[in-house]
Amino acid sequence: MTNTPKQKKHAPIFWLDFSPLLVFFGVNFAYGIFPATISLMVTMPIAMAVSWLKRKHIPPVLWISGLLVLVFGGLTLYFNDERFIKVKPTIIFSLFGLILVGGYLRGKALIKFVFEPAFPPIADRGWMILSRNYGLLNFLLAGLNEFVWRTYSTDTWVTIKVFGFMGLTFLFFFTQIPVLMKYGNFKKN
């Protein structure tokens, strides 16, 4: 199975998927958490619209994140309580962990639906391993988010949320290269 042009069109676009977080970080640094929350609530729908215009597709992760940003951002602003925006990553990470590990336990590699366009063909066993591992990573990130927002300042939490969790996710990806090498089809056509 090769990646078709349709699949490539749905591949992740790094800058688009992470630009709302980078704006959130910058606005928090300059103006604080409440203006940063507003900026996140504005940039997420923009990122979704640009995704639709560029890919004719909005990734499920962006849909879920966008919805939760609007809900928890709205609660943060309405109650003037930053705890709502701080707990949002815990909920997202836990939800993804439950979905991926739950799918793994039922014999379904649900991560494949999100990442298949960005990878060469991978055997089903490889997708299962990646689903389990990425699900466990999400549980770890949920726990780390809870620890950080309850223990450190808001500015430290924002920095770790944007750069620490992203860095851990990239590091995790590199630890999965042996799985990709073992189960991926890297032959040139």
Distance between CA atoms of residues 32 and 30, nearest Å: 6
User: Considering the chain, what is the average pLDDT of its residues?
Assistant: 89
- What average pLDDT does the segment 150-170 reach? 95
* Residue 176 confidence (pLDDT) above 90: yes
- What average pLDDT does the segment 69-82 reach? 97
| Tokens 């494949």 -> residue | 112
pTM value is 0.85
Q: Is residue 125 part of a domain?
A: yes
Q: Is residue 189 part of a domain?
A: no
Of the pLDDT bands very low, low, confident and very high (cuts 50, 70, 90), residue 187 is: low
Q: Which of 13-27, 67-81, 130-144 has the lowest mean pLDDT?
A: 13-27
* Residue 113 confidence (pLDDT) above 80: yes
Q: Is residue 133 part of a domain?
A: yes
DSSP 152: S
Cβ-Cβ contacts under 8 Å for 95 (sequence gap 6 or more): 64
- What average pLDDT does the segment 17-21 reach? 86
Distance between CA atoms of residues 42 and 39, nearest Å: 5
Q: Is residue 70 part of a domain?
A: yes
* Count of domains for the chain: 1
Dihedral sign, CA of 43, 32, 26, 148?
Answer: negative
Phi, psi at 21, each rounded to 5°? -65, -40
Q: Is residue 52 part of a domain?
A: yes
* Residue 114 confidence (pLDDT) above 50: yes
The two tokens of residue 104 are 């793994």
Q: Is residue 98 part of a domain?
A: yes
Partners of 184 in the β-ladder: 122
Which domain covers residue 141, as residue numbers?
5-183
Long-range contacts of 104-110 (CB under 8 A, 24+ apart): 104/128, 104/131, 104/132, 104/135
Cβ-Cβ contacts under 8 Å for 75 (sequence gap 6 or more): 81, 84
Per-residue confidence (pLDDT) for residue 54, from 0 to 100: 85
Per-residue confidence (pLDDT) for residue 64, from 0 to 100: 87
Q: Is residue 139 part of a domain?
A: yes
- What average pLDDT does the segment 27-52 reach? 95
Per-residue confidence (pLDDT) for residue 115, from 0 to 100: 81
